[in-house]
Amino acid sequence: MLSLPAVAPAVAQDVPQSMGSVATHDALVTGGLEVRGEKANLVSNASITAYDRTAPISLQRGGEVLVCSTSQFHLLHSGSGESLLFGLDRGSIEIHSPSQSQDVILTPDLRFTLVTQGNLDLRIRVTGNGDTCVDNAGAKAPELQISDVFSSESYRLTAGQHVLFEHGSLREVVDRESSSCGCPEAVLPVTEVAAASSGGSTPAAVAAQNPFPTAVSQGLAPPPPPANSAPVGVEHVQVSDSLSYNAGQTTAVAAPAAPPVKAVPVSMEPPPSPPGAGEIFHAVGRFFHKLFHPGS
């Protein structure tokens, strides 16, 4: 009878704990995640790019991160326990959560670590030219150590301090910044837009009469190109396609586009008036005079 060797029991591998969750209709989510219905559980190295509205991330440890409209953000495990690494590529975020000892916040130019513990009520914004707005709101906010990722420069940010690092430099600090570092206000509801179109006079209705993307005005996204725009001095050509349908085909086919029509410059000056009879006779007379008197 054969005796089989004893088999060691399988060692259960540690499964990374979910860092939090975000609704898939609010953001494009990639990385280590589990999608269940319209909710993505962020397991490891998650990348979140908000659509045209704020994307709230509910943190497993408590609290939330608001990824502002069109902003790009990363969330990773940091050290042990429930500590997290919050990485902002561009745009703006708000972190509202009890801090953990090994929490780290990264921007393209700066690294934030915790000196003391407290409740994070942190708002950070990074614009296209590198300006970094930081609002460490709240009297019980933790003290933060900010380091330049490219040098040995550092800066201590105390509770309640609101600053701007111009071009992401710790040497160019606006110590009493007044502009908001967090998410822009929510988009107007449909009822307010309707009120504006009917002549409403509420502040929201007036704002709806001047539609401009909030993310653009707040520096979170570049402005869209104007419709039918062309550089000065360059001919502007419009080409329109029309769809034609053939019963024998399964798809609609675009009809050939008409050739572009070039604009012809039009002079606004009145045409010269025809010469009078006296001018004609004078011209004829000068011709014959030069013919018979070439030296004159």
- pLDDT tens digit sequence for 57-92: 999 999 999 999 999 999 999 988 999 999 999 999
Which of 78-92, 115-129, 195-209 comes out lowest in average pLDDT?
195-209
Give pLDDT, residue 2.
44
Give pLDDT, residue 206.
43
User: What domains does the chain contain, in order, with CATH numbers?
Assistant: 64-174 (2.60.120), 184-221 (no CATH)
Which of 24-28, 96-100, 245-249 comes out lowest in average pLDDT?
245-249
How many degrees, rounded to 5, is the angle at CA 258 between CA 257 and CA 263? 130
Give pLDDT, residue 120.
96
Q: What are phi and psi of 292, to 5 degrees?
A: -95, -15
Give pLDDT, residue 262.
53
User: Which letter does DSSP use for residue 292 in this model?
Assistant: H
* Residue of higher predicted confidence among 287 and 43: 43
Q: Is 49 exposed, middle or buried (0-12, 13-18, 19+ CB in 10 A)?
A: middle
pLDDT at 165 over 90: yes
- pLDDT tens digit sequence for 33-46: 999 999 999 999 99
| 3-state SS, one letter per residue, for 6-69 | CCCCCCCCCCCCCCEEEECCCEEEEEEEEEECCEEEEEEEEEEEECCCCEEEEECCCCEEEECC
Confidence band for 168, pLDDT divided at 50, 70 and 90: very high
Give pLDDT, residue 12.
47
pLDDT at 249 over 80: no
**How far is it, in rounded angstroms, from Cα 165 to Cα 182?**
15
Given a contact cutoff of 8 angstroms between Cβ atoms, the answer to whether 178 and 188 are in contact is: no
Confidence band for 149, pLDDT divided at 50, 70 and 90: confident
Write down the mean pLDDT value for the chain. 75
